[in-house]
Amino acid sequence: MDVIFHIVNIRKSINIINATIKNNVKWVILVHTTGIYSKYKSASKEYIDIENKISNLIKIKISKLQY
């Protein structure tokens, strides 16, 4: 498969990223909530953490491809 378009809950995105890495999917499009920009830190913290985990997983994958 070449593209995954994910519009379900952000909490499922880490599983989606892991599956796409495992299956060598070329493109992943994640549509998330704007809750990351909430003025209420308790509301945005979980979303920020998930976004950071996703970013780190992608960076690890890219660094492995470069070697």
Domain boundaries, the chain: 3-65
Q: What is the pLDDT of residue 57?
A: 94
Please identify which residue in the block is written with the tokens 């920020």.
48
Running along the chain, 67 residues long, what does each successive block of 10 average in pLDDT? 88 94 92 84 87 94 80
This prediction has a pTM of 0.79
Show the CA angle centred on residue 10, arms to residues 14 and 43, nearest 5°. 120
The span from the CA of 20 to the CA of 27, in Å, is 8
